Amino acid sequence: MILMLGPPGAGKSVQGGLLAAELGYVSISTGVLLRAAADDELHERMLRGELISDETVQELVKKEILKLHPPGSLILDGFPRTPEQAKWLVSWAKDNDVCIECLLHITNELDVCLERLTSRGRHDDKPEVVRERYEMYRDVAGPIIEIMVDAGIPVLTVDGSQSIELVRSLVFAQIDQRRKC
């Protein structure tokens, strides 16, 4: 299982999709799963750029990982999003014999994210909500990376402001040496 971390608009879903195709994995986005859930209150929270509770998202993630054969053959886009989720995932993966191969961190400046997302037009892509989501990412990225490093999980950081093709080639060039299992 490969984890993806990055601000909104960094290119996580595009790069996650490309990497999944390359590795024969499935790319799973917690944002997409949550948007598909029949729960108005949850959707309201998402529109305001607020996070959904750790327990709710952890349950979803657990189910998705166990559905696959082998259970870890996925790219997880948008999870973990809090240090608590990161700790939970490290411990759950260990207990269930699922390998966390690496954390792929795609970085980007707020200005580039704002520019990209305004043209995407999703309902939670309003500039003030993007700023909120960006700040949330900035607060948790360091602690999440620290938890992964402490758990011996390799972290690969790539500058997402470059073209899709360039980011893709940087990721592909480095991912094999950086995967733990």
> What is the contact surface with ligand AMP in residues (CB under 6 A)?
8, 29-31, 34, 45-46, 49-52, 57, 78-79, 81, 85, 124, 133
CB of 50 to ligand AMP, least distance (A): 6
CA 133 to chain centre: 13
Q: Whose Cβ is closer to ligand AMP: residue 81's or residue 105's?
A: 81
CB atoms within 10 A of CB 30: 21
Instruction: Write down the H helix ranges in 104-161.
Output: 110-120, 127-150
Two structure tokens written together for 23: 């590795």
Q: Whose Cβ is closer to ligand AMP: residue 27's or residue 30's?
A: 30
The residue whose Cβ lies closest to ligand AMP is: 31
What 8-state DSSP symbol labels residue 180? -
Q: Whose Cβ is closer to ligand AMP: residue 67's or residue 120's?
A: 120
Q: Whose Cβ is closer to ligand AMP: residue 135's or residue 177's?
A: 135
Q: Whose Cβ is closer to ligand AMP: residue 25's or residue 79's?
A: 79
CB of 11 to ligand AMP, least distance (A): 12
CB of 168 to ligand AMP, least distance (A): 19
How many Å apart are CA 154 and CA 118, to the nearest integer?
Answer: 33
CB of 170 to ligand AMP, least distance (A): 21
How many Å apart are CA 139 and CA 153, to the nearest integer?
Answer: 20
Assess contact for 113 and 133: CB atoms under 8 A: no
Q: Is 86 helix (H, G, I), strand (E, B) or coil?
A: helix
CB of 15 to ligand AMP, least distance (A): 13
Q: What residue has token string 């733990």?
A: 180
Assess contact for 36 and 109: CB atoms under 8 A: no
